[in-house]
Amino acid sequence: MWRLSNILTSTLVATAFAATATPEFATREELLAWLRTEYAKPPAAWPAPVLDEGVPHRELATPGPAPFPEGMEPTREKKELGLSLFFDPRLSGSQQISCSRCHDPEKGWADGRSLAQGVFMGQLTRNTPGLQGVGHHTSIFWDGRSPSLEAQAAAVITHPKEMAGNPEKIVRRLAAVKDFYPPRFKAAFGDESITFERILQAIAAFERGLTTGRSRFDRFLAGKQDALNDAELHGLHLFRTQARCLNCHNGPHFSDGLSHNAGLTYYGRRFEDLGRHTVTGKAEDVGRFRTPSLRNVGRTGPWMHHGLFPTMRGVLNLYNAGMPRPARKDHQKDDPLFPETSPLLKPLHLSPDQRADLEAFLMSLDEPPMRVLTPPFPPLGP
């Protein structure tokens, strides 16, 4: 009974959030006691979030399995083959760099660097994202330029600065490891034929299997009240309310799937990155980047599309200040491309203790790391 009525009130309240601010408490103990009671309820009955007008209420949740294209069910055989290909440097022009060189399972499937290093040690212009949960993304890359995991894999393998691979040569190299790859392609696809398309499909199947949903926050969602400590619980509440994070980082993946300008365009300066504008050509897309998932975010630093933030506290201090909002210089007065920081970002007035609790909550989203102990591909010849 309470379920339906609470869902109704929570949607109503969300649209009129001003009336539902956190009550004032004399002590932290009282606040925490109130939070424990409120957050013991199902998420639909949690305190209403702080959302700006027009932002839909998509509550945080545990994700289900990733969707897949028709006929491309990520079977165990496809995933195992994809794992081998993901680690195999045969997919690059130099035969020295594999996907796993930049997406290392021990580092949250990222690389721990600010900017990625491509084939022949060339520096790329963006930070390597982690891949857990990537099967759920509706647009791929920081600027959303790739429509699918298959297209993304083709792009990175053939890109001259990333892996510089040649599809025909790759197919020939794999076919030459007779006792390893042909039987695995047969197990995955029904016959031994090795094609570039099947390589991409197997890699994508493997990536769709990199699921999320085993963090302490997910256990809390499943009803284990002690899975979050007091600081983390308070951080969750701040994330949804005063810190305004739920305006963009929402739903099971902590992302609305949209692109926003967080004030990090570096317009006209070193590190300038026009983001989504380079894909759409639209003036309003200058400096917009896809809202990244925050699952496992504790393990994928340094942060942001350029990896220029080495500490989470630094990221949160900047959010607390409302993020950069560059002013136009004289010669930029009429520049139609001058980037506009999202109006959803505002100064937050969070105390240092509140920022510490918010950070603690973000770290509760980390999941047990996946270990890949032996290289799952045949060694290269001498």
**Interaction between residue 215 and ligand HEC (CB under 6 A):** no
- Choose which of 163, 194, 231, 233 interacts with ligand HEC (CB under 6 A): 163
**Interaction between residue 360 and ligand HEC (CB under 6 A):** no
**Interaction between residue 83 and ligand HEC (CB under 6 A):** no
**Interaction between residue 102 and ligand HEC (CB under 6 A):** yes
Cα–Cα distance between 325 and 343 in angstroms, integer?
10
- Least distance from C-beta 207 to ligand HEC, angstroms? 6
**Interaction between residue 264 and ligand HEC (CB under 6 A):** yes
Three-point CA angle 58, 286, 151, nearest 5°: 70
Contacts (CB under 6 A) with ligand HEC, residues 6-65: none
- Least distance from C-beta 26 to ligand HEC, angstroms? 26
CB 128 within 8 A of CB 171: no
Region from 70-78, 213-221, 285-293, 331-339 binding ligand HEC, contact rule CB under 6 A: 285-293
- Least distance from C-beta 373 to ligand HEC, angstroms? 20
Count of residues interacting with ligand HEC (CB under 6 A): 52
CB 255 within 8 A of CB 290: yes
**Interaction between residue 356 and ligand HEC (CB under 6 A):** no
Give the Å distances, CA to CA, from 10 to 46, 50, 142. 8, 12, 32
Query: Closer to ligand HEC at the Cβ: 135 or 177?
Result: 135
**Interaction between residue 244 and ligand HEC (CB under 6 A):** yes
First to last CA, the chain: 70
**Interaction between residue 253 and ligand HEC (CB under 6 A):** no
**Interaction between residue 170 and ligand HEC (CB under 6 A):** no
147 alpha-carbon distance from chain centroid: 16
Cα–Cα distance between 238 and 364 in angstroms, integer?
14
- Take residue 195 and report the two structure tokens written for it: 């094609």
CB 266 within 8 A of CB 272: yes
Relative to beta strand 259-261, strand 288-290 is antiparallel
CB atoms within 10 A of CB 152: 20
Cα–Cα distance between 356 and 312 in angstroms, integer?
10
Question: Which amino acid is it at 220?
Answer: F
**Interaction between residue 240 and ligand HEC (CB under 6 A):** no
Region from 16-24, 43-51, 127-135, 210-218 binding ligand HEC, contact rule CB under 6 A: 127-135
Given the structure tokens 């699952």, which residue do they identify? 295
- Choose which of 58, 78, 136, 137 interacts with ligand HEC (CB under 6 A): 137
Cα–Cα distance between 289 and 145 in angstroms, integer?
10
**Interaction between residue 205 and ligand HEC (CB under 6 A):** no
CB atoms within 10 A of CB 100: 20
Helix axes 230-240, 352-363, angle to 10 degrees: 100
Region from 21-29, 147-155, 276-284, 330-338 binding ligand HEC, contact rule CB under 6 A: 147-155
**Interaction between residue 99 and ligand HEC (CB under 6 A):** yes
- Least distance from C-beta 279 to ligand HEC, angstroms? 10
- Least distance from C-beta 151 to ligand HEC, angstroms? 10
Cα–Cα distance between 138 and 199 in angstroms, integer?
21
Phi, psi at 263, each rounded to 5°: 85, 15
Residues lying near ligand HEC in the complex (CB under 6 A): 91, 97, 99, 101-103, 116-118, 124, 126, 128-129, 131, 134, 137, 140-142, 149, 152-153, 156-157, 162-163, 203, 207, 243-245, 247-249, 260, 262, 264, 289, 291-292, 294, 297, 300, 303-305, 315, 319, 342, 344-345, 358
